[in-house]
Amino acid sequence: MKVSDLQQHLGDLARLLESSGAKTVALDLSAICTGLAPFRDQPLKGFADFLTRAEGYYARGEVPLTPTSGTRSTRGAAKTTIPNPPPPDVEALAAEIQRLYESAADPTLTREKIETTTARMTPLKKDDLVHISERLGMVGMKTKTKDKIQEAIRERLIASRGIILRSGLI
The answer to whether the Cα torsion of 38, 44, 46, 47 is positive or negative is: positive
Q: Residue 28 — pLDDT band, cuts 50, 70, 90?
A: confident
145 pLDDT more than 90: yes
149 pLDDT more than 90: yes
Of the three residues 59, 81, 103, the one that is the final residue of a domain is 81
- Mean predicted confidence (pLDDT) in 100-105: 84
Percentage of the chain lying above the pLDDT 70 cut:
78
| 49, 111: one domain | no
In whole angstroms, give the CA distance from residue 53 to residue 62.
Answer: 8
Q: How high does pLDDT run on average in the chain? A: 80
Of the three residues 37, 58, 81, the one that is the final residue of a domain is 81
Residue numbers of the domain that contains 17: 3-81
* C-beta of residue 14 within 8 angstroms of C-beta of residue 31: no
Q: Residue 71 — pLDDT band, cuts 50, 70, 90?
A: very low
Q: Residue 66 — pLDDT band, cuts 50, 70, 90?
A: low
Query: In the Cβ-directed half-sphere of 76, how many Cα atoms lie within 13 Å?
Result: 2
| 94, 76: one domain | no
Percentage of the chain lying above the pLDDT 90 cut:
23
128 pLDDT more than 90: yes
In whole angstroms, give the CA distance from residue 83 to residue 86.
Answer: 10
In whole angstroms, give the CA distance from residue 102 to residue 97.
Answer: 9
CA distances from residue 152 to 103, 130, 138, 160 in whole angstroms, order as listed: 18, 10, 9, 12
Predicted TM-score of the model (pTM): 0.48
88 pLDDT more than 80: no
* C-beta of residue 133 within 8 angstroms of C-beta of residue 97: no
| 55, 17: one domain | yes
* C-beta of residue 96 within 8 angstroms of C-beta of residue 61: no
The pLDDT score that the predictor gives to residue 76 is 47
